[in-house]
Chains A and B, each alone.
Chain A
């Protein structure tokens, strides 16, 4: 027991901060209905700000802390509230994509501005020993972390019970309309809660940075610990949320002691929060989870189809161009090969998100499974290339069935969270196992096909192989979408209840769509590893999943099912090859920012006609308003006269 004490101390200190982050997340989610995927990114931004002020500009640390928590936190809260207010009436999927977009934007900005190298973050709190328990030294920094955590929790608890604003925050969760009817301004109450939530996030960010080092991804992923804590509190209870954070901290820390030395299991301590999240999502009955903001119904797809000449002409022109690509682009051919592979990834993602209204934040994991499996099938087991490709698709499809299990039980936000947890689990534990990439840094490798006239060494030959697979995928998915299954998927996005009450076994449909989507993503992963030769697990992270979703959202806002996949691949792969300034960081900002904007202006789908009409209407209203203000009194007088006449009737 005694040797556990140091791990428990460390766990308590970090767990207290997880709890703090969880409190902020739970509070804002409950009062606004918007679950903030960017909660950790806000914490990261605060930590970087603190770093700039304290380390680069040599400010005294309390001053830096006041600015990065006391000023930045509330400002972030104000921005978030404004964003949340514009999102409440959107579709659930749009809301998720919007805050994921914000995460991409902030993280991209931090990488872009500060560089992606990890920097050590100074422990600004005193590290002297405060006291000793059973021979273990407890530092002042640890004591302060726990005190801040407990103090914030108690402070929030009292605030929510004793002050009018605090009570109103709880009331706005239960009945926002009724709160407005009592004369309180719900918007003001929500602003208060966003300010508290984002301040808590900022506080967590600067306190946890010394133990995590300054790394935007690590800090943004802090949100996962918060997710876990909030899930333990069933998205409702603040005391349980805080306690959940502490438990996650302690369990993860103690697990480090037992598992860090064991090969293959060393990743487990780091995934304790995801395991907690996934477990909570899988065992909690859906009706116990609070319903957030947003509409479930309403598919992204409109029933309209472009005119016939376009329908036939566009693929012909595009096909001719793609056939000619190897003769046009010279040494950039690998870029186009990769882009074509990503077309398949985007098509398969689109099938899930756009056609059937499901959401998946783990799509890159399928591609990763595909790449590793293909390597094992072709190199280790010696399958011929084409057989390996199909077998890989089948295996990945089975993984898709696993991800379909939460989709049967959950929808909207909770499905998104479960898939995000699944993606992180794949990335940190399953990818490292011998089944997939193994523990080698270089990952696994594969060769290109050598069949008949196709020569493995020729980049051009392989380009045409890819083009053939992409064409086949396009045809298959377009047919699938127009077949009965496609109608069921669109129906599922519109009204699952209607499908169930007309007799459809919807669970089966969900399994099919996840399996189909994973199949194609797996095929893309196999093509990818053949193209580049060697793939390591860092190619397909959960951050990649978010980036794919962002890119597809941006492209999908302007174009149809097939076109958007090509457009997204172009944006993600081809675009940076021509503009050297477009790095992953810039793309992250670009996709993230655009995804947020697309969500704000038109619920994820930009239709220029409506947009113009809406802007026009807004302008009209603004003009009318100034008009009314100028002539307010005569209008009112006329209305009174009319009312008097009405009363006499």
Chain B
């Protein structure tokens, strides 16, 4: 579905990703883990066209889409929910959903979004930026559901949210995955991410240091790679 083939990328003089190979197969969930600053966000930005790779290629269903603009990739079915809140804060919920829907399908989009997140129904005219963090994240995730994307890239969608909201978000992600869409998940809740993932990758200092089945990533192993230390007796 989505393949990063030997991608090297960075900003200015700093190289962030070095020769990264990563595959998101059709209808599967891939968890991308690694310490902060490893380059996870940059990897997603390369995949969605926000950053052009210095070398290597991005393939979408076998087609070379390297260097395509982010809006072009979005129209081809890549849906990237960026770090922070993927909403337009000064716009109302209704206006956010209007822009999230494919052109011509605004009404359907609104209905599907409210069906997925009934909480939003009472807040259609509220300014998105005034909602709680959890509600904003629901709104951002609604895009993943109504945009008709085939690959969804999620960057730390649970960051800074209360545990009960996080559970709700993961329930939603499982549901989306169940509809046959591919997910690439960057998550700080490692256990939760691995629980719904088919495959796992660990990125450290811009290189893939592990790639394999999610089940292989045993708890302890993840923890040590994640923190870059050996775990003492606990």
Are any A and B Cβ atoms less than 8 Å apart in their complex? yes
Could you tell me which A residues sit within 8 Å of B by CB distance? 161, 164, 167-168, 170-171, 173-175, 177-186, 635-636, 639-640, 642-643, 646-647, 649
Assuming the contacts A647-B25, A649-B21, asked whether A181 and B99 have C-beta atoms less than 8 A apart, the reply is no
Residues of A close to B86: CB separation below 8 A: 178, 181
Main DSSP-derived SS at the A contact region: helix
Report the Cα distance A163→B86, complex, angstroms. Answer: 21
Task: State whether A182 touches B62 (Cβ < 8 A).
Answer: no
Chain B 40-84, CB-CB to A under 8 Å as 1, else 0, gives 000000001110000001010011100001110011000110100
Residues of A close to B95: CB separation below 8 A: 161, 167, 170-171
Q: Which of B100-108, B116-124, B216-224 interfaces with chain A?
A: B100-108
Report the Cα distance A635→B69, complex, angstroms. Answer: 20
Residues of A close to B21: CB separation below 8 A: 646, 649
Task: State whether A167 touches B91 (Cβ < 8 A).
Answer: yes
Give 30 CB contacts A-B under 8 Å: A161-B95, A164-B98, A167-B95, A170-B90, A175-B89, A177-B82, A178-B82, A178-B87, A179-B88, A179-B99, A180-B49, A180-B50, A180-B69, A181-B48, A182-B100, A182-B147, A183-B147, A184-B99, A186-B71, A636-B62, A639-B5, A639-B64, A640-B59, A643-B3, A643-B5, A646-B3, A646-B5, A646-B6, A647-B3, A649-B21
Task: State whether B98 touches A639 (Cβ < 8 A).
Answer: no
Residues of A close to B126: CB separation below 8 A: none
Residues of A close to B6: CB separation below 8 A: 642, 646
Q: How many residues of B contact A (CB 8 A)?
A: 38
Task: State whether A168 touches B99 (Cβ < 8 A).
Answer: yes
Shortest A164–chain B CB gap in Å is 6
Task: State whether A640 touches B98 (Cβ < 8 A).
Answer: no
Question: B188 at the A/B interface (Cβ < 8 Å)?
Answer: no
Task: State whether B5 touches A642 (Cβ < 8 A).
Answer: yes
Shortest A627–chain B CB gap in Å is 14
Considering the complex, give the chain A residue whose CB is closest to the CB of B106.
A164
Task: State whether B5 touches A182 (Cβ < 8 A).
Answer: no
Residues of B close to A181: CB separation below 8 A: 48, 50, 70-71, 74, 79-80, 82, 86
Question: B150 at the A/B interface (Cβ < 8 Å)?
Answer: no
Question: B27 at the A/B interface (Cβ < 8 Å)?
Answer: no
Task: State whether A174 touches B89 (Cβ < 8 A).
Answer: yes
Report the Cα distance A161→B92, complex, angstroms. Answer: 10
Residues of A close to B80: CB separation below 8 A: 181
Considering the complex, give the chain A residue whose CB is closest to the CB of B2.
A643
Assuming the contacts A174-B90, A174-B91, asked whether A180 and B98 have C-beta atoms less than 8 A apart, the reply is no
Task: State whether A643 touches B74 (Cβ < 8 A).
Answer: no
Query: 7 closest A-B pairs (Cβ-Cβ)?
Result: A183-B74, A180-B70, A643-B3, A647-B23, A646-B21, A180-B71, A640-B62
Residues of A close to B87: CB separation below 8 A: 178
Considering the complex, give the chain B residue whose CB is closest to the CB of A166.
B95
Task: State whether B79 touches A167 (Cβ < 8 A).
Answer: no
Task: State whether A170 touches B91 (Cβ < 8 A).
Answer: yes
- Complex partner residue of A164 from B63, B64, B82, B99, CB under 8 angstroms: B99
Report the Cα distance A125→B89, complex, angstroms. Answer: 44
Task: State whether B71 touches A183 (Cβ < 8 A).
Answer: yes
Shortest A293–chain B CB gap in Å is 17
Considering the complex, give the chain A residue whose CB is closest to the CB of B3.
A643
Residues of B close to A185: CB separation below 8 A: 69, 71
- Complex partner residue of B71 from A164, A184, A636, CB under 8 angstroms: A184
Task: State whether B23 touches A643 (Cβ < 8 A).
Answer: yes
Besides A170-B95, A173-B90, A180-B69, 20 new A-B residue pairs in contact (Cβ under 8 A), listed by A number: A164-B103, A170-B91, A171-B95, A174-B90, A177-B82, A178-B87, A178-B88, A179-B88, A180-B71, A181-B74, A181-B79, A181-B82, A181-B86, A183-B71, A636-B62, A643-B3, A646-B6, A647-B23, A647-B25, A649-B211
Shortest A63–chain B CB gap in Å is 36
Shortest B178–chain A CB gap in Å is 23
- Complex partner residue of B88 from A171, A639, A646, A649, CB under 8 angstroms: A171
- Complex partner residue of A175 from B25, B69, B88, B103, CB under 8 angstroms: B88
Residues of B close to A170: CB separation below 8 A: 88, 90-91, 95
Shortest A189–chain B CB gap in Å is 10
Residues of A close to B88: CB separation below 8 A: 170-171, 174-175, 178-179
Task: State whether A639 touches B57 (Cβ < 8 A).
Answer: yes
Shortest A29–chain B CB gap in Å is 16
- Complex partner residue of A171 from B57, B70, B71, B91, CB under 8 angstroms: B91
Residues of B close to A635: CB separation below 8 A: 64
Task: State whether A177 touches B70 (Cβ < 8 A).
Answer: yes
Residues of A close to B71: CB separation below 8 A: 180-186
Shortest A185–chain B CB gap in Å is 5
Residues of A close to B3: CB separation below 8 A: 643, 646-647
Task: State whether B82 touches A643 (Cβ < 8 A).
Answer: no
Shortest B23–chain A CB gap in Å is 4
Considering the complex, give the chain B residue whose CB is closest to the CB of A175.
B88
Residues of A close to B57: CB separation below 8 A: 639, 642-643
Considering the complex, give the chain B residue whose CB is closest to the CB of A179.
B99
Report the Cα distance A164→B6, complex, angstroms. Answer: 38
- Complex partner residue of B99 from A173, A182, A639, A642, CB under 8 angstroms: A182
Report the Cα distance A646→B20, complex, angstroms. Answer: 10
Give the residues from 11 to 51 in chain B that come closer than 8 angstroms, CB to CB, to chain A: 21, 23, 25, 48-50
Report the Cα distance A642→B80, complex, angstroms. Answer: 25
Report the Cα distance A180→B69, complex, angstroms. Answer: 8
Residues of B close to A177: CB separation below 8 A: 50, 70, 82
Task: State whether B89 touches A636 (Cβ < 8 A).
Answer: no
Report the Cα distance A635→B147, complex, angstroms. Answer: 30
Report the Cα distance A640→B79, complex, angstroms. Answer: 22
Considering the complex, give the chain B residue whose CB is closest to the CB of A161.
B95
Shortest B5–chain A CB gap in Å is 5
Residues of A close to B79: CB separation below 8 A: 181
Report the Cα distance A161→B91, complex, angstroms. Answer: 9
Task: State whether B99 touches A636 (Cβ < 8 A).
Answer: no
Residues of B close to A164: CB separation below 8 A: 98-99, 103, 106
Chain B 174-207, CB-CB to A under 8 Å as 1, else 0, gives 0000000000000000000000000000000000
Report the Cα distance A170→B95, complex, angstroms. Answer: 10
Report the Cα distance A173→B90, complex, angstroms. Answer: 9
Report the Cα distance A185→B211, complex, angstroms. Answer: 35
Considering the complex, give the chain A residue whose CB is closest to the CB of B211.
A649
Shortest B198–chain A CB gap in Å is 13
Assuming the contacts A174-B91, A178-B82, A643-B3, asked whether A183 and B75 have C-beta atoms less than 8 A apart, the reply is yes
Task: State whether B63 touches A636 (Cβ < 8 A).
Answer: yes
Residues of A close to B102: CB separation below 8 A: 183
Task: State whether B5 touches A180 (Cβ < 8 A).
Answer: no
Shortest A605–chain B CB gap in Å is 18
Task: State whether A167 touches B98 (Cβ < 8 A).
Answer: yes
Shortest A172–chain B CB gap in Å is 9
Residues of B close to A183: CB separation below 8 A: 71, 74-75, 102, 147
Residues of A close to B69: CB separation below 8 A: 180, 185
Report the Cα distance A636→B3, complex, angstroms. Answer: 13
Report the Cα distance A167→B93, complex, angstroms. Answer: 12
